[in-house]
Structure 1
Amino acid sequence: MKIAEVKKKNGSTVYRTRVYLGVDQITRKKVKASITARTKKELKAKALTAQADFKSNGFTRKARSNISTYSELLDIWWETYQHTLRVNSQIMIKGRLENYLRPAFGKYKLDKLTPAVIQNQVNQWAADYNQHSQGVKDYNFSHSLNKRILQYAVSIQAILSNPARDTIVPRRANKEKLEIKYLDSQNLKRFLDYLDSLDNSYTNFYDSVLYKLLLATGLRIGEALALEWSDIDLEAARINVNKTLNARQGVNSPKSRSSVRELDIDKKTVLMLRLYKVRQREKAREVGTASDTVFTDLIRPYPLKSSLDGRLKNHIKRAGCTPVSFHAFRHTHASILLNAGLPYKEIQIRLGHSTLSMTMDTYSHLSPENEKKRLGQKSNLKYKKRTKLVFWQSEFCFVRFSHLIIDLKGLIIKIFKN
């Protein structure tokens, strides 16, 4: 230790030195301290005290956080992080925190949450899914979430290092993908015939319009329920998709930029929407309310999804069809497009997928003999040249396409058969 003797203006003498304390565990920078004392003995004592204080503070000069347990850390992290998420993502991640992370680590003091503890828990999550088909298949996401939370603890000086940093995540076992549920030709015909047989009550008409619009467009249910009449140009036969209904009955922008899109609709769908709009306004005058929302329940701006789910379940059961959810209508629409020979790129744009691979990974297995079927459907393809726009029309959908018109009337019952 190099000691300098310094003469002050008043004539007294002091001793100064710079002592190396170590590497700050927060900033990862070397730390030195300047020390002044009246005697060399006092100087050496102060140097030892500075080194001891640096060590006792966790090898950092930053103020330490007073968070003691993982559960406290989780609450503090969530209070800030939730505001970076969309509503549906908030609900999903909050569920993961409460169902997996808090039960696993909540009781631990932060200084007792070791790499071994975390590794054992990740191993257990993997075993639950891979060996017992329990828990969640994306246990890697649970680990990533935990790792992010603990890194936040490092940044606020609650801990010195991230104990989840070097955790090894076991590989997920290859399991058969859950079969996509959609209405095959038989169930689709049965369901449409059932809808046409219903009495003409307003509720039945409302449900029928919603279901047929989903089948004709491939809209996500949240996108359909968020539609306003200003989003639908009945003269141009076009729907502008620019928002979606979230799980808390609020409206967000769609899940990705590619989900913002325009969809052309067929003449039958246009007529159906015109009739529905007139009847909706008549019903609104009758109950003394008004709304620009297409599928308002005339009580609140947007209908309760749980109520619609229950009604769909009852309709599907009464129609004698295989049980499906609203998303099955989107899958059904995609299947019709795929089996009719529409290129994956066009289907991607129609459905609002962010990537082509997403479309192919989701739907390619629906028709393993798709190429053979396309060859067999040549007689159903009618080519028509136009200078600007050419449209692809069917009983259920209306898609802009570069050079092709496909007449699906009569074809829809065949395309699902091997």
Structure 2
Amino acid sequence: MAELGKDAKGNRIQKRKGGFKTKKEAETALAEVNTSINKGTYIEPSKQLFKDYLAEWFAGKAYGIGKQTATSYDMYIRVHIIPFMGDVQLSKLNSTHIQNFITHLNDKGLASSTVKRIYTVVNTSLVAAARMKVISENPAAHIVTKPRVQRKEVVVWDESEVQVFLDRTKATTRHHIAFHLALATGMRQGEVLGLRWSDVDFEKSLVQIRQTVTHDGKEIKTGAKTASSLRSIAIDQATIKELKRHRAKQAEEKLASGGSYTDLGLITCTALGNITTPRVLSTAFDNAIKKSGVPRIRFHDLRHTHASMLLKLNINSKVVQERLGHSSIQMTLDLYSHLCPNMQSDAANILGEALFKNTM
């Protein structure tokens, strides 16, 4: 038993704590506790297990995040976090536990982006615990090696490959309009699938992103991925023409359905008007690539192709950012500037021509 100062009424505060290997360790711990009591920052160690705290935290957190994000958080907690350190008392959780957990996830071969997301769940939960004074500080904030996302090399098509692909899919797949829109606008897959005819302004040559199809394809979600993703994108006349051609074809399908057509107003949909799921679209895209003979890329790489082409055409990067719906211009530059190795030399030559043409 050791005296640890006095409470607000002047009574002595006494706590019992063991497990120290040496007398010096015990004296150091006692000094630290005394200091925190004197500062008014002492927090009584909780015997609550980390897994029980996570359950309470997530129950409240789930109401403030999207459905898909909540599903991912739940999986990360059940499959990864709880099996590794769920039985550790919250008050005894330290940076070594967190660091070993990160190593464990990497050893399992998980993608760096997945490791980062799982760490974010742990860190966010512990930030909340520290804020509520359940623990004195967040142990996840002190780990030496925090997970970093290793960016994969972006693979894109050049202009000739885009033209070959669109020419060969125009008459062979009903999903051609989705491929065309992704290349012409840089929209994400869920945005393409959620685009309605009412979102197209043919007179002003604009499309508006106002809703998306979820990753599982089971529902349409109002809004977009982020606030900056809610945006208007200018479209060219060739895309206007393609949209009108597709609308006429869709009208024929509706007429031929015999009244069984579900009109959701979607541009990309099934033959009966229902939602086209991301999985179906990705499969159709892979099949179209094989038939077209162009290099294999992911559907999301059509978005990268759109951005890289704009940058190579010296379109202002701020415009590219706005079309893609990125939250910052830095994100756009970090993702795509390496695709344009000649941009620096082009800039130097243009500037040199403007400033020094009379001195050469």
| TM-score in terms of structure 2 length | 0.75
Per mean C-alpha deviation after superposition, the further-off stretch among 159-168 and 230-239 is: 159-168
Unaligned 5+ residue runs, structure 1? 1-19, 24-29, 34-46, 378-418
Look up the match of 1:32.
9
Counterpart residue type for residue 161 of structure 1:
S
Select the residue among 107, 122, 138 that pairs with 1:146.
122
Look up the match of 1:87.
67
Distance in 1 between residues matched to 2:149 and 2:250, nearest whole Å: 49
Q: Write the mapping of 1:12-23 to structure 2, written as runs, cut at 5 A.
A: none
**Helix, strand or coil for the counterpart of 2:153?**
coil
Asked if 1 retains the 8 angstrom alpha-carbon contact of 2:177 and 2:268, the reply is no
Q: CA deviation at 1:208?
A: 0.9
Residues 1:273 and 2:243 aligned together: yes
**Bigger proportion of residues as strand:** 1
Q: 1:81 to 1:246 in 2, by over 3 A?
A: same
Look up the match of 1:258.
228
Per mean C-alpha deviation after superposition, the further-off stretch among 277-286 and 209-218 is: 277-286
Residues 1:230 and 2:204 aligned together: no
**Helix, strand or coil for the counterpart of 1:32?**
coil
Q: CA deviation at 1:236?
A: 2.5
Select the residue among 245, 265, 279 that pairs with 1:292.
265
Counterpart residue type for residue 315 of structure 1:
A
Distance in 2 between residues matched to 1:55 and 1:331, nearest whole Å: 61
Q: 1:116 to 1:187 in 2, by over 3 A?
A: same
Q: CA deviation at 1:344?
A: 0.9
| TM-score in terms of structure 1 length | 0.65
Q: Percent identity?
A: 25
Q: CA deviation at 1:123?
A: 5.2
Q: 1:108 to 1:369 in 2, by over 3 A?
A: same
Q: 1:376 to 1:331 in 2, by over 3 A?
A: farther
**Helix, strand or coil for the counterpart of 1:31?**
coil
Q: 1:145 to 1:239 in 2, by over 3 A?
A: same
Residues 1:181 and 2:155 aligned together: yes
CA-based RMSD of the aligned residues comes to 3.8
Unaligned 5+ residue runs, structure 2? 18-32, 351-360
Q: CA deviation at 1:149?
A: 2.1
Look up the match of 2:23.
none
Select the residue among 160, 169, 179 that pairs with 2:144.
169
**Helix, strand or coil for the counterpart of 1:363?**
helix
Select the residue among 331, 334, 340 that pairs with 1:358.
331
Q: CA deviation at 1:105?
A: 0.9
Distance in 2 between residues matched to 1:300 and 1:86, nearest whole Å: 26
Distance in 2 between residues matched to 1:241 and 1:166, nearest whole Å: 37
Higher Cα radius of gyration: 1
Asked if 2 retains the 8 angstrom alpha-carbon contact of 1:297 and 1:303, the reply is yes
Asked if 1 retains the 8 angstrom alpha-carbon contact of 2:228 and 2:326, the reply is yes
Q: CA deviation at 1:230?
A: 0.9
Residues 1:302 and 2:279 aligned together: no
Distance in 1 between residues matched to 2:148 and 2:232, nearest whole Å: 40
Counterpart residue type for residue 278 of structure 1:
A
Distance in 1 between residues matched to 2:148 and 2:243, nearest whole Å: 47
Q: CA deviation at 1:314?
A: 0.9
Q: Write the mapping of 1:90-239 to structure 2, written as runs, cut at 5 A.
A: 90-110=70-90, 112-122=92-102, 128=106, 135-136=111-112, 139=115, 142-153=118-129, 160-162=135-137, 164=139, 167-170=142-145, 177-196=151-170, 198-199=171-172, 204=173, 206-239=174-207
Distance in 1 between residues matched to 2:199 and 2:130, nearest whole Å: 47
Q: 1:299 to 1:376 in 2, by over 3 A?
A: farther
Q: CA deviation at 1:232?
A: 0.6
**Bigger proportion of residues as helix:** 2
Distance in 1 between residues matched to 2:131 and 2:186, nearest whole Å: 45
Asked if 1 retains the 8 angstrom alpha-carbon contact of 2:98 and 2:140, the reply is no
